[in-house]
Structures are given as C-alpha cells and as structure tokens.
Amino acid sequence: MSQRDYYEVLGVSKDVSDADLKKAYRRLAMKYHPDRNPDDEDASEKFKEAKEAHEILKNKEKRAAYDQFGHAGVSNQPGAGGFGGGADINDIFGDVFGDIFGGGRRGGGGQRVYRGDDLQYNLEITLEEAVTGTSTEINIPNLVACDACDGNGAKRGTNPTSCGTCHGVGQVRMQQGFFSVQQTCPSCRGKGKVITDPCPKCRGQGRTQKEKKLAVKIPAGVDNGDKIRLSGEGEASDSGGPAGDLYVAIRVKKHPIFERDGADLLCTVPINYATAAIGGELEVPTLNGRVKLKIPAGTQTEKSFRLRGKGVKPVRGGAVGDLLTKVRIETPVNLTAEQRDLLQKFHDTISGSHAQKHSPQAHSWLGGVKKFFDELRS
C-alpha cells in the first residue's frame, strides 16, 4: 500500500470538514471501485488507497495521531494498511455504496428494503397547450401493491416467515480469502422473508398489474423534453419500501404555422410582389388572434418583423418572448395576357439606366460579376 499523504490521496486540505471528506471519498470510491473497473489493478490500488485514507481521517483520534506523527502514528491501528480490525468490506462501505450501487435501506428486521422503480410516460400536447398550460388525465399500466395480501405476498391469514438462510437479514457473508464479503441471500433474494403459502392473486409477488388513471397539470410554458414528476406514482416496491416516482415527459406536436425557439415564436408569411414594393398592411396570426403588421415600401424577401410580447412565457420564469414574422415574397403565377403585358411595361421602366436606382442589390451584384471576369482576362 502506498504511503502517500492521506490528504493528498483524497485531494483535500488538512482543515477539511467531515462532510467534504466524505464527499471526496465517495467521488474516488465511485471512480475506482473494482466493480466498475474489472481487471484494472491500478484502479484497485487507488480504491484501497482512498479507503485507507478515509478510514484514518474520518476517525477523530486516528486523524489527530496522523496529523502529529504521520503514518507512524497510525501504522498499528485497525483500518490502516488494508481492511483490518475485523471489519468486512460491506460494513466499511455500506453507507457509501448503498447509494452508489442502488442498495436499499434496512427494514425493521434488518433485511434490505428497496424503493420501487421510477416510470416514464410520454405525453404529447399541442403548442397552444404548452404555451397556456392545461390539465389532462392519463392511464398508465403499473405494478401496485396487491390488495388481497396488502403487498406481503402471503395468502390472507398467513404471513411470510423469516428466511432460514440469512435469518431475516437478506444478506449472507461469503468468506473469500482474507475478506468477508456480504452478498444478497440466494434463498430469499434479499427480502429476508420466505413465503410458504403464496397469495393466489399475485402468486406471492406482492404486486399486481393495474391500470391507473392520474390527473396531470401541465404548467404554462413547458417545452419539448421537460418532465413533470409525480411523487410516489411509480411502481410499488416488492420489499415494503416506498413506491417510485412517475415522470411525465412532454412532447410538443409540430405546429402548422409556428415554430418555437426558446421563449420566441417564429412564423413565415407569404406576401405578394406589389405589397412588398409599395408597402401596405398585413394580417398575421398569433396564438391570441390576428394582429395588423405594417409592411414598409421596398421590403425584401426574408425580412423579419418582431412583435413584442407575442411569444411564450418560459415555465422557469423570465420575460415573455416575441413573435418573429418573416415575410417571403411570392412570385405571381397563372398570369393573364393583360397582367403579363402590364408586368412587361413595368419591367421596362425599371431596367436599363434605371436599374441602379430601383434594384441596387442586383446592380451591385452584376458589377461584382463584371469585375470578376475583367480580372480573369487581365
């Protein structure tokens, strides 16, 4: 085992608090635990090194001795230099790895009690519902506690008995060389109890499949990917623990007119050639009705106009967004002979010597093209 400074091993200062010491150890233990790094001897050594440092520094007396005398002050103490002192690996890491690797808390009889699984339900709503908020009901298939046996899995009038293998603890100790490793009991699968006369309705599982109807309130301003948590509405635990949670994931349907960009709404409105040239008024849609938009003369295609406060108020707070309306000039089609003649006459009045005045962008572009070819010839 390395004799590096224990504070250096954990990456903390000498005045570190107990809470920060534990956080530093958890981080390293999660990173280098052998279960996450199989066949990696270097990770295994770092895991043992971090464990040794934590075992010394979390104990006030050992820490004081180490601070005064260094490794010599704790070299003969239990816990230094390995998994000594009669403590097995489960006792040392039970509080840490119970959270990291999903271990449950212990019930009244010492057996492990696990929380039920979380569930996710994908709910599709319209853009209008996402912006203004709504309430709806959903039906979800779910595992709930069996009402015939109150969730214990045993036939009514009987009770589960304590497991004879683990004596109700749900865990058994396995000796592996110098280490005593605690594992899930193979007889009761960690429940600590054995059912000899199972409930006929749930067949001893303690849970049954049931469709549950739930009311869900969708707050105004939600967006794609947002999740609403319904606490305790997930699957029931099969070991007497609390039920999991239900997460309602929001999916917003594609809208035929609007697109959403954060708090802003975007839409594209076609306008005719004449309106773009001489200006006018245009009726544009919003989620609250129609509004008038003034189109100035000489408006070019793809020009955007901002309508303040016509967007979305974000669910997490903030100012209401805007509506960005982009106009797109539509070339007229299916012209009559008279219309074609009028357009030709109009074209003649803005061409030739008048091109620079009436079509500055086209004139500038043509000038650039001419310069390009002149340079090629030179």
Residue-wise pLDDT tens digits, 271-298: 998 899 999 999 999 998 899 999 999 9
How far is it, in rounded angstroms, from Cα 330 to Cα 295? 15
pLDDT higher than 60, residue 333: yes
* Overall average pLDDT of the 344-351 stretch: 86
Phi first, then psi: what are they for 94, rounded to 5°?
Answer: -55, -45
Using the structure block, give the residue that is written with the tokens 């090629």: 376
**Both tokens of residue 182?**
């605690």
- Give tens-digit pLDDT for 356-371: 677 767 667 767 777 7
3 state DSSP class of 151: coil
3 state DSSP class of 229: strand
- Give tens-digit pLDDT for 96-107: 444 334 445 555
How far is it, in rounded angstroms, from Cα 59 to Cα 170? 29
How far is it, in rounded angstroms, from Cα 325 to Cα 306? 6
- Give tens-digit pLDDT for 136-177: 999 988 777 888 888 888 888 888 888 888 887 778 877 665
- Give tens-digit pLDDT for 37-66: 877 888 888 888 899 889 889 988 888 877
- In one-letter notation, the amino acid at residue 315 is V
- For residue 72, give every residue at least 6 positions away whose Cβ sits within 8 Å of its Cβ, in sequence order, or none: none
pLDDT higher than 70, residue 1: no
* Overall average pLDDT of the 102-118 stretch: 60
* Alpha helices (H) along the chain: 6-10, 18-32, 41-57, 60-69, 89-100, 127-132, 273-278, 337-350, 355-358, 360-377
Hey, which residues does 228 pair with through a beta bridge? 248
Give the residue from 247, 252, 270 showing the smallest Cα distance to 312.
Answer: 252
Going along the chain from its start, the domains and CATH numbers come out as 6-103 (1.10.287.110), 107-148+204-254 (2.60.260.20), 259-330 (2.60.260.20), 337-377 (no CATH)
* Overall average pLDDT of the 239-246 stretch: 80
Burial of 123 per CB tally in 10 Å (0-12, 13-18, 19+): middle
Tell me how far the alpha carbon of residue 314 is from its chain's centroid: 18
Using the structure block, give the residue that is written with the tokens 């000594």: 84
The predicted pLDDT at position 98 comes to: 40
Hey, which residues does 291 pair with through a beta bridge? 284
**Both tokens of residue 95?**
């509080």
How far is it, in rounded angstroms, from Cα 105 to Cα 99? 9
The predicted pLDDT at position 175 comes to: 67
Give the residue from 72, 120, 113, 273 showing the smallest Cα distance to 206.
Answer: 113
- For residue 137, give every residue at least 6 positions away whose Cβ sits within 8 Å of its Cβ, in sequence order, or none: 213, 214, 215, 216
Q: Measured over all CA atoms, what is the biggest interatomic distance in the chain, rounded to whole angstroms? A: 107
Are 162 and 110 within 8 A, CB to CB?
no
Are 34 and 43 within 8 A, CB to CB?
yes
How far is it, in rounded angstroms, from Cα 280 to Cα 207? 68
Dihedral sign, CA of 82, 85, 89, 92? negative
pLDDT higher than 60, residue 112: no
**Both tokens of residue 63?**
């820490």
Percent with pLDDT over 70 in the chain:
83
The backbone region for 369, taken as left when phi is positive above 0, alpha when psi lies in -120 to 50, beta otherwise, is: alpha
